[in-house]
Amino acid sequence: MVMDLDKPLGSVIQGSLSCGLEVRLHPDVSVEDMRVGKFLVVQGMRSRFFCMLTDVSLGTSSQRILANPPHPNDDFLRDVLAGSGTFGTVNLTPMLMFTPTEGKRETGDNSNGNNGLASFQPQSSEEMELLPVKTIPSHFSQVYDASQRDFRAVFGWEDDPLRRNFAVGQPLDMDVPICLDLDRFVERSNGVFGKSGTGKSFLTRLLLSGIIRKQAAVNLIFDMHSEYGWEAVSEGKQFSTVKGLRQLFPSQVQVYTLDPESTRRRGIRDAQELYLSYDQIEVEDIMLVRGELNLSEASLENAIILRNEFGKSWITQLLNMTNEEIQMFCDEKRGNKSSIMALQRKLLRLDDLKYMRSACPHNYIDQILQSLDAGKHVVVEFGSQSNMLSYMLATNVMTRRIHGSYVHKAEKFLQSKNPSDRPHPLVITIEEAHRFLDPATVRQTIFGIIAREMRKYFVTLLIVDQRPSGIDNEVMSQVGTRITCLLNDDKDIDAIFTGVSGGQSLRSVLAKLDSKQQALILGHAVPMPVVVRTRPYDQQFYEEIGDTAWDEVSDDEVFAAAEAAKADLGF
């Protein structure tokens, strides 16, 4: 790779492997052009170092200058001092290094010779080998802005025929794509984090659109606020809407709704109704929502006694029991009458959920599984049923059964080794993830199990949350790729870097992000941490990534396609 030798920005003057490099800027380089999060390249004697700018500071050669600064109008003296008496410095954190080896092409094969370093493969077809940083460049090594070729070599490009790369944004100061490797992205559970109003939903739509377009996995999206399936309101002074996944990919996305009336009001044409029955709810599901139902430990213990006695119908039996029947049950099974009566009274709140039924004509969860098996992406809308009790209960019930089906399929595939038995990789998107994954409840939710399995059964999570500090540390350490918008709380910032080597140097980068359309990406799906201006979710994006626009298809064609899809799935 050819270095841009026309304009070096500065020289390395000191540093260490653990604390990073200090670079003194050249006199003709303005410190105001240096922004935290920039991607810079240091050319050492033998290696090139790909670095992130983590801090900017001002320096002087003498304390006398600080004691007697030039007058604000004395431009001549300021120009005299610039570069010699006063100067700018930046701190760089080396992320990757590339060392050309004599006698072979610039990396060619994957062998590391005798250096014993692990290989960090770039997301491109460039013949190069990126290595973890084990050393630092020498004194006075020159620092350069990264070129477009540097970005393409490290982060790849979207049209690379050998990889499923998806452009999620651009660097802060260049018009070149930053890509995620979607095959690596879906290998592990991932997270989109940021405080309220920073654009997490738009960023999540981008990622889901990329997974659908590149066919990296199938998606199951629990859409708490009805933002992903159909139109959603865009933030701004003027009212406007953005398209949902169903509009971008009409032939690939199926919407299921727990609130059919709300879905019809929003204009979705062929959403499938979805209901759950009491016999699908287990004690573990009730444990998850104990806070919302205000259940005591004694009530949960008696729920287990009821489940052991009545099996799957324990809730229906409990809700129909009279005081006398409860007393008789307690006498026979050594239950606690007051606890069971309290449990009965509080479970009556489930009758307020529109999607709950005493019995369902058929298994709607199996219907979703058939859609996923057919390669369809499923959005489950909650409509007016978006309170935390409703969302947590339905999401946990459905996910536990879908995960159980995937475990069965994965075990069958491992036994047969038949490619036709291999399940579609499944990505489950959940919002308010800290409510499912906090230390107190993570052991009782299926999501904690999935997060720790690391795609063992072809199922991973995409967790969307504004309070990452509420997520269990063990789960956070297993999150493969973290895409983080602005966070202000120190605890949340600390949580983002749980299990990340060298994360301390990136804290200042995260804290200095703009409040809109900027994100720090680090982890399994990118070769090194990078700050991006996120890709706009607009008309140009629709044209670049979507199928034939919904508005271009007649109603007759839409309904005919929907009926054909139902027939294909046996409905």
Beta bridge mates, 240: 234
Identify whether residues 447 and 412 lie together within a single domain: yes
- DSSP letter at 82 equals B
Whether residue 46 is found in the same domain as residue 132: yes
What does the pLDDT look like over 404-439, one tens digit per residue? Answer: 999 999 999 988 888 888 888 999 999 988 888 888
Q: Which two tokens stand for residue 6?
A: 């026309």
Look at residue 459 and tell me if it is in a domain.
Answer: yes
Residue 168 falls within a domain, yes or no?
no
Backbone φ and ψ for 164, nearest 5 degrees, come out as -95, 75
pLDDT one-digit tens code per residue, 402-413? 999 999 999 999
> Please, which pLDDT band fits residue 101 given cuts at 50, 70 and 90?
low
Amino acid 395: pLDDT: 92
Among 354, 388, 420, the domain boundary falls at: 354
Residues 426 and 412 placed together within one structural domain of the fold? yes
Mean pLDDT of the residues in the chain: 83
**Could you tell me if 410 and 255 are in contact, meaning their C-beta atoms sit under 8 angstroms apart?**
no
The reply to whether 236 and 115 lie within a common domain is no
pLDDT for res 67: 72
- pLDDT value at position 6? 67
95-103 average pLDDT score? 72
For 59, 60, 136, 253, 564, the CA distances from 77, given in Å and listed in that order, are 17, 14, 36, 66, 79
Q: Would 174 be classed as within a structural domain? A: no
- Residue 11 pLDDT exceeds 50: yes
Task: Please tell me what DSSP assigns to residue 352.
Answer: G
Q: Is the pLDDT of residue 363 over 60?
A: yes
Tell whether 311 and 254 lie within a shared domain.
Answer: no
SS3 call for 326: helix
Are 516 and 383 members of one domain?
yes
Assess whether 366 and 460 both reside in one domain. Answer: yes
pLDDT at 113: 36
- Contact call for residues 224 and 431 (beta carbons, < 8 A): yes
In angstroms, rounded to a whole number, what is the distance separating the alpha carbons of residues 383 and 571? Answer: 24
DSSP state of 549: -
Domain boundary among 337, 354, 371: 354
What is the structure's pLDDT at 118? 35
Top-confidence residue, 503 or 275: 275
Q: Are residues 396 and 269 in the same domain?
A: yes
Does pLDDT of 463 surpass 90? yes
Q: Which domain holds residue 246?
A: 180-275+362-492+508-561
> 170 lies in a domain?
no
* Structure confidence at residue 265 (pLDDT): 85
Q: What is the 3-state secondary structure (H, E, C) of 433-488?
A: CHHHHCCCCHHHCHHHHHHHHCCCCCEEEEEEECCHHHCCHHHHHCCCEEEECCCC
pLDDT of res. 386: 78
pLDDT value at 66 more than 80: no
CB 534 within 8 A of CB 517: yes
Residue 289 pLDDT: 87
Burial 344-356 (b: 16+ CB within 10 A, else e): bebbeebeebbbb
267-311 pLDDT, tens digit each? 887 888 999 999 998 888 888 888 888 988 999 899 999 999 899
* Distance, CA of 144 to CA of 156 (rounded, Å): 20
- Judgement on whether residues 244 and 370 belong to the same structural domain of the protein: yes
114 and 30 within one domain: yes
Mean pLDDT of 167-188: 90
Q: Is residue 302 in some structural domain?
A: yes
Last-in-domain residue among 120, 155, 190: 155
| Mean pLDDT (whole number) for 540-568 | 55
Q: Which of 152, 143, 95, 91 is nearest to 122 (CA)?
A: 152
Q: pLDDT confidence of 461, banded at 50, 70, 90?
A: very high
| The pLDDT of residue 56 | 92
- Judge whether 165 lies within some domain: no
Pairing of strands 86-98, 178-181: unpaired
Q: Residue 163 falls within a domain, yes or no?
A: no
Question: The tokens of 363 are what?
Answer: 């298994």
Q: 179: helix, coil or strand?
A: strand
* Number of domains, the chain: 3
Tens of pLDDT along 508-529? 888 888 888 899 999 889 988 8
88: β partners: 58
Would residue 567 count as lying in a domain?
no
Report the CATH number that the domain containing residue 215 is assigned in CATH: 3.40.50.300
Using the 8-state DSSP alphabet, how is residue 313 labeled?
G
pLDDT band at 263 (very low <50, low <70, confident <90, very high): confident
Same-domain pairing of 513 and 440: yes
Task: Fill in the DSSP letter of residue 120.
Answer: B
Whose structure tokens read 């479970």? Answer: 347
In this predicted model, what pLDDT tens digit does every residue of 137-174 receive, in sequence order? 999 999 999 888 888 888 888 888 888 899 999 988 88
**SS3 letters for 403-444?**
HHHHHHHHHHHHHHCCHHHCCCCEEEEEECCHHHHCCCCHHH
Whether residue 380 sits in one domain with residue 348: no
CA-wise closest residue to 166 among 220, 205, 108: 205
Q: Give the pLDDT band of residue 78 (cuts 50, 70, 90).
A: low
